Copies of this chain bind each other. A is one copy, B any other.
Amino acid sequence: MAPIKNGRLLFNDVPTGYPEPGKTTVYDESQTIDLDGMPLNGGVLIKILVVSIDPYLRDAMRDPSNKGYSAPFAIGEPISNFGVSVVLRSENAKVKPGDHLFGMYPFQHYAVFPSVDQLLLLKNEENLPWTAYIGVAGIPGQTAWTGWKEYAAPKKDDIVFVTTASGPVGSFVVQLAKLQGLKVIASAGSDEKVAFVKSIGADVVFNYKTTSTSEVLQREGPINIYWDNVGGESLDAALANAANGARFLECGMISQYNAAPYTLKNLMAIVGNSLHVHGVLIMQLLPKYRDEFYREVPGKVARGEIKYIEDAKRGLEWAGHAISDVQRGKNHGKSVIIVNEE
């Protein structure tokens, strides 16, 4: 077979505010690949099926001289994130053509990996769609599961406040809290999202764009557990309405990624209410919980015990738009790109 195009989404320019498709990233089809003739040198040739679009990608889109919590993307190279691939050819005894692998992939159609040590073989006995493995049964679900288990320390009658509660992490947290019978206050950014969060069982759900977080928490709190994906004003309201000894699980601060830093007015509540604030970093927590997660969660999802929604776009050329949408909260459900059909 003749070489075919290997479309890639390249990092093109460090954004100052929100990332812009076509400027921050460009879709490039100049590279070609010979799927049959490409030498593998003991490695594997994979076709990437799905990749995940997450808020934290913004962190890697920075000038490498600035500090961040993930490796910065290199200008001119494909951006990368978690995805699922299928093996086309293999010279590695551990995997065979047709196997599905979860891992960190460059945003392109095909790739040769010299080793599969960093990739996880997915058996998918529950027959979930592959996109589930980058959402509810992937890093977002694992973030919720491990963070909650490690830091939430839920007690009877605790009140939980979850932000971005229709997102893949937040909606999972809402359901974990409800499985434990706790009262859940949840915020989301549109009426459609609010409806979804209500449907998964949250007790008090509001659109933070039209309703004051601070007023809701004053009425429905004080809160014992705060799951923060937002930072800024929402964090400030949570600080002001935290119960003594409350646990704050800091998973992200998306309100701060594309704007000037917010000035917190209630930071002294950390001292005054003896709060416990923990940064939730999935890659550090995962080894402790990985086996348990893959043993329990795909089944729960298949049986409908954990619900999720997806916002899927077909075609890698739309990934730049999806990245921008996620930063602006325009997606509804876990944002994924379907790069290739099986």
Binding site for B on A (CB under 8 A): 59, 67-69, 231, 240, 244-245, 250-253, 256, 261-265, 267-281, 284
Contact A268 B281 (CB under 8 A): no
Contact between A67 and B267 (Cβ–Cβ < 8 Å)? no
Is the CB–CB distance between B69 and A273 below 8 Å? yes
Shortest C-beta distance, A268 to chain B (Å), equals 6
Q: Known: A263-B263, A265-B261. Contact between A251 and B276, CB under 8 A? A: no
Inter-chain contact B231/A272, CB cutoff 8 Å: no
CB distance from A122 to the nearest CB of B (A): 27
Copies of chain A in the complex: 2
Offer 30 A-B interface pairs, CB within 8 angstroms, sorted by A. A59-B272, A67-B240, A68-B272, A69-B272, A69-B273, A231-B267, A231-B268, A245-B284, A250-B271, A253-B268, A256-B267, A256-B268, A261-B264, A261-B267, A262-B263, A264-B264, A264-B267, A269-B279, A270-B279, A271-B279, A271-B280, A271-B281, A273-B279, A274-B279, A274-B280, A274-B281, A274-B284, A275-B279, A277-B277, A277-B278
A261 to B264, CA, bound (A): 7
Q: Are A253 and B271 in contact (CB under 8 A)?
A: yes
Alpha-carbon distance between A245 and B278 when the two chains are bound, in angstroms: 9
The 9 closest A-B pairs by CB, nearest first: A69-B272, A277-B277, A274-B281, A274-B279, A263-B263, A271-B279, A270-B279, A250-B270, A275-B279
Q: CA of A105 to CA of B338 in the docked complex: distance in angstroms?
A: 69
Q: Nearest chain B CB to A222's CB is how many angstroms away?
A: 11
CA distance A245 to B269 in the complex (A): 22
**A273 CA to B245 CA in the complex, in Å?**
22
Smallest Cβ-Cβ distance to A56: which chain B residue: B271
Given A67-B240, A240-B67, does the pair A270, B263 have CB atoms closer than 8 Å? no
Q: Are B279 and A272 in contact (CB under 8 A)?
A: yes
Assembled-state Cα–Cα distance A268/B251 (Å):
9
Extra contacts besides A245-B284, A275-B279, A277-B277 (9): CB < 8 Å: A68-B272, A264-B267, A271-B280, A272-B279, A272-B281, A274-B279, A275-B277, A276-B278, A276-B279
Q: Shortest Cβ distance from A276 into chain B, in angstroms? A: 5
